[in-house]
Structure 1
């Protein structure tokens, strides 16, 4: 059996990234290493984790594409479910997220919006399907 355990985002500053997700979305930190090069949030069944780009470079000797707000987002997103999409988008942008797409109702009734976090990662904020 395989279980999806976590997603790790490679960031410049683990502490700042964790603080953004705590403030913008109300998550709680599970832990941060003493070196501040890795940390996890309590987000439900699947954990969002953060690793410093320095640590990532130690693990991925041939490098990786770095996320930032200057380039287009990667073709992947983090999906966060909420009962109030407009309020969550407003809160996220007040803590530094960049609005990509205003909340819109999809034909199946789901409300969906997109922001980019301060590290440039794409975040979908939506209601449950």
Structure 2
């Protein structure tokens, strides 16, 4: 049986976040609902989706705590592999990401962190670190 892993991040504005991920990381939109309250990135095997906070609140009622980009990062990160972490970091910041931890080289690996416009912590890692 084949399984699909899907991660959904709740955000304020789904189309804006999808555009940010395209501008910052070159990730294209695989799906955007007609109402614009849910969308997915074309990322390969793991589906990364975004849904609006009101959609989450309607599903989870009082068991939902809304995240905010100005709060500390939540307990997870997205990892994006790239050939040049320094360029990817600069491009992400130019697209609106918050600089979090500048890239550094350790041995043959390089890693840096930014926070996306919706607050997700993103690790940018060199291809060899996969």
Instruction: For residue 17 of structure 1, give the secondary structure of its aligned residue in structure 2.
Output: helix
Compute the TM-score of the two structures, normalised by the length of structure 1.
0.92
What's the CA shift for 1:69? 2.6
Task: Figure out how many residues of one structure are paired with residues of the other and give that number.
Answer: 128
Runs (4+) of structure 1 exceeding 3 A deviation are 1-4
Equivalence for 1:124: 123
Q: Distance in 2 between matches of 1:77 and 1:118?
A: 14
- RMSD of the alignment, in Å? 1.5
Contact 1:116–1:123, Cα closer than 8 Å, also in 2: yes
Contact 1:10–1:52, Cα closer than 8 Å, also in 2: yes
Compute the TM-score of the two structures, normalised by the length of structure 2.
0.91
Q: Distance in 2 between matches of 1:110 and 1:65?
A: 36
Instruction: For residue 78 of structure 1, give the secondary structure of its aligned residue in structure 2.
Output: strand
What's the CA shift for 1:68? 2.2
What's the CA shift for 1:62? 2.1
Confirm or deny that 1:115 pairs with 2:114.
Answer: yes
Equivalence for 2:70: 70
Q: Which runs of 5+ in 2 are unaligned?
A: none
More helix by proportion, 1 or 2? 2
